Amino acid sequence: MSTQILNPSTYGRLLAKVQPRAIKDEREYTRLVAEVGRLVERGEDDLSAEETSLLEMMSILIEDYDREHYPLKPSEPHQMLAFLLQQRGLTSRDLWPVLGSKARVSEILHGKRSVSKDQAKKLAAFFRVPVGLFI
């Protein structure tokens, strides 16, 4: 994104109207999500530099609140493996050379066997993702 010059007067009026601040409760969260929704509906190309800056700030506030109040549980390694296979249009057969055998792939995919560190490294290299997804 290129740096745009903001008109302080226009930006100040926009800030005074929306009054973004740290989100402390669901009411404020809902209000800012609605404000973001209004801007997003207009489309990125139809926003002024000031509106784009405000949208970025509100998005950060919302992300921070989400991270604190609605943390995502990490996926189990076998669930992540199944997801990556599906997303890439692969089958368990594609993992046989990576993990060594049909039986081992089946056990891991069904959660009956955990992924070893060595296998995690091989899977990470195969899918080109961080090794931590499988540990």
CATH code: domain of residue 90: 1.10.260.40
Q: Are residues 21 and 59 in the same domain?
A: yes
Whether 3 is covered by a domain: the verdict is no
Q: Same domain, yes or no, for 54 and 23?
A: yes
Cβ distance 96 to 126 under 8 Å? no
pLDDT band at 96 (very low <50, low <70, confident <90, very high): very high
Q: Does pLDDT of 32 surpass 60? A: yes
* Number of structural domains found in the chain: 2
Distance of CA 25 to the CA centre of its chain: 22
Among candidate residues 50, 69, 88, the one where a domain is terminated: 69
In a domain, 119, yes or no: yes
pTM of the prediction? 0.58
Say if residue 81 is in the same domain as residue 65.
Answer: no
> CB-based contacts of 52: which residues, under 8 Å, 6+ apart?
4, 44
